[in-house]
């Protein structure tokens, strides 16, 4: 059996649908953490609500939180049914369920938070019974639900499980020259990441992806990787033939 993995996919169902064959065929166990940005933005737009971001995080006023949760749940249910129809029995959950994700609110962002505790018992029970858990990044604090960045949530869950984290995205990994895919960096440490930042190599949307991979390591994951979500990617990442791997 292949290695147990924490897999993170973005919220674009168009991209995630293309991954369902790959994910359903993976021979090892995995827990999937998913985002829902496009679905959330679409629903907020339909309801005449504004989408606003600060530092890459979606500002979530209390009146928008139900919309965010609804969109995430819908995304999770669609992913779960897609995997189940392909023969991999999947269950869509939220961090609310069995208090999987405990959170702390971040200042100035409304009901947006970070994960401060992970209860993995339900996830492990489902895996033992042959189900694949899918987790929407909603955490709970004393006041209720918190919208958590999916990359951040994935890192926390990977650390709690002690499993490698694979962040699937639309690029093949970290490039020394962003315009040249042939410059993909195979391995990076936190120190190497800081050096790349100093050189101005890490910019734009790659920065939060790299930070999420490093946060997974800090939380206890043995390694993390960023790779393009495509056919055969998980086994290729395990063989270090795809993506960029991060280690301490």
Instruction: Give the integer Cα–Cα distance in Å for 152 and 160.
Output: 13
Rounded to 10 deg, the angle between the 121-128 and 150-161 helix axes is 70
Instruction: Give the integer Cα–Cα distance in Å for 196 and 244.
Output: 14
Instruction: Give the integer Cα–Cα distance in Å for 49 and 70.
Output: 15
Positions marked catalytic: 8, 11, 37, 151, 209
- Listed residue (235, 211, 214, 210) closest to 223, CA to CA: 214
Instruction: Give the integer Cα–Cα distance in Å for 8 and 148.
Output: 13
Q: What residues have CB less than 8 Å from 72, skipping those under 6 apart?
A: 11, 34, 35, 36, 39, 40, 94, 136, 137, 138
Instruction: Give the integer Cα–Cα distance in Å for 214 and 234.
Output: 19
């Amino acid at each position: 059996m292949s290695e147990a993995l924490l897999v993170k996919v973005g919220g674009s169902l168009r991209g995630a649908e293309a991954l369902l064959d790959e994910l359903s065929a993976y021979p090892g166990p995995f827990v999937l953490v998913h985002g829902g940005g496009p679905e959330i933005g679409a629903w907020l737009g339909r309801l005449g609500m504004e989408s606003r971001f600060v530092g890459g995080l979606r500002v979530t006023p209390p009146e928008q939180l139900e919309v965010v949760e609804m969109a995430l749940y819908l995304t999770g249910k669609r992913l779960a049914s897609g995997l189940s129809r392909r023969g991999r029995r999947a269950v869509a959950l939220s961090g609310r369920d069995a208090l999987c994700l405990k959170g702390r609110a971040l200042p100035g962002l409304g009901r947006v938070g970070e994960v401060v505790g992970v209860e993995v018992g339900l996830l492990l029970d489902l895996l033992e019974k042959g189900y694949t858990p899918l987790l929407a990044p909603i955490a709970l604090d004393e006041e209720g639900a918190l919208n958590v960045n999916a990359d951040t949530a994935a890192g926390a869950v990977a650390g709690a499980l002690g499993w490698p984290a694979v962040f699937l995205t639309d690029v093949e990994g970290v490039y020394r020259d962003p315009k040249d895919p042939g410059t993909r960096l195979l391995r990076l440490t936190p120190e190497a990441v800081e050096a790349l930042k100093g050189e101005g190599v890490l910019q734009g949307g790659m920065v939060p992806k790299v930070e999420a991979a490093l946060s997974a390591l800090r939380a206890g994951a043995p390694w993390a990787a960023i790779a393009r979500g495509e056919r055969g990617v998980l086994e290729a990442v395990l063989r270090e033939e795809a993506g960029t791997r991060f280690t301490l």
